[in-house]
Structure 1
Amino acid sequence: MKLVTHYALPALAITFLLSSCGDPGTPNPNQAAPIRAAHVNPYEPGTYAHFKAQKGYPRNYGVWKNEAVLARTNASNSSIRIDLSDQRGYLMNGSELAMDYPVATGTSSHPTPTGNYRIVEKIASGKSSSTYGKIYNASGGLVKSDADSRKDKVPEGGKYVGAPMPYWMRLTWDGIGMHKGNVPRYPASHGCIRTYYKVVSTVYGKTRVGTRVSIVR
């Protein structure tokens, strides 16, 4: 017959085993909260690497400029790249980056098309959308703030007012372009590329009809 030996464990050891197997035990009210490491940017301030390593990039409102490159960038040597995933625009001089800035592009229901384009029209002021805007009644009251002129009816005596699009830079003849507008840090437009108000005049001034614009995802 096989002999089986039993060993008795002290009560303290049993308590330890129970508390170490999934039982968190009683919280210690005097125990300090765990210390989280602060965000440390390892790159030299002022460099593009430092800018991109900032907390929240690319979905923040930061603008980076290479002042030397930007100074020699003009309508004859510039190009623009739009990144739909990062919601950023890049003003380029050849292969050199002149400026990195926030944009807001089309939503999933009104996507901004990818591809290679050229600016085909520029209008600094007075441009408004013929498709999207607001509808007012005869008394001037707002009926619809996000109206589509192709679908929404204007009440008798009322009017449709197209959304303003200053610094308009048209890319397609079916309504896609770059312009000044509200730039939340997510896709929000009907397909256009809304450009941050702090840089849109610079982008407009550094481009011309014929400037290349690439849109990537």
Structure 2
Amino acid sequence: MIGFERRRDRFDFFDRMESPAVNLCFTLDVPDFRPWCKAQGLAPFHVMLCAVLRAVLKVENFRYRIVDGEVIRIDRLVPSFTVMNQHGDLNFAQFDWSDDVREFVARGMAAREEASTMTELNVKYRTMSPRDAKDQVFVTCMPWLDFTSIQHPMASIAAPDIPSFAWGRFRDGPDGLQLPFSVQAHHGFVDGWHIHLIGRQVAAELAEIIR
């Protein structure tokens, strides 16, 4: 992990802090992919989720994790996201990765349907080993809100190594769509530049999907 070794001193600096998390909310510009989704019969949220997770895999700094005190780089992602059940309580949906966007969306829709019918927290989420949990990023969508800030929960305030992403309500922009987008990550791994890169990569992934 040559990229990480170059920033090991930054990691050590931030990791000693009580909270080494960096959290930025910004307006993300993306191509308007909704007409393509409608024509293809695909849910826009799940296409957006696919683009975000593809972007994570391409911006290496978002693949670093801490396992037993050591920094590793994950090679895969387990897609997961929050859903709301019939009582208005959140749950977590998980499914197996697919490189094909249509299969990705189909699996995500099935996972959403399964998790939304549960009254208790999804057992798949509760029974993950600490190592397997590192293959996630945390994703939530609040399509009702044009939010300007967010604070994501962390299992430990001292170890925010699993990145968190959130986005809100779409609105028309000058060149496509705009939406509030939040990124939280370990500052030892990620700076503002990398958050800029992930936003740019999400837009590029959406453009590639609908091309």
- TM-score of the superposed pair, with normalisation by structure 2: 0.24
TM-score, normalisation: structure 1: 0.24
Q: Which has the larger radius of gyration?
A: 1
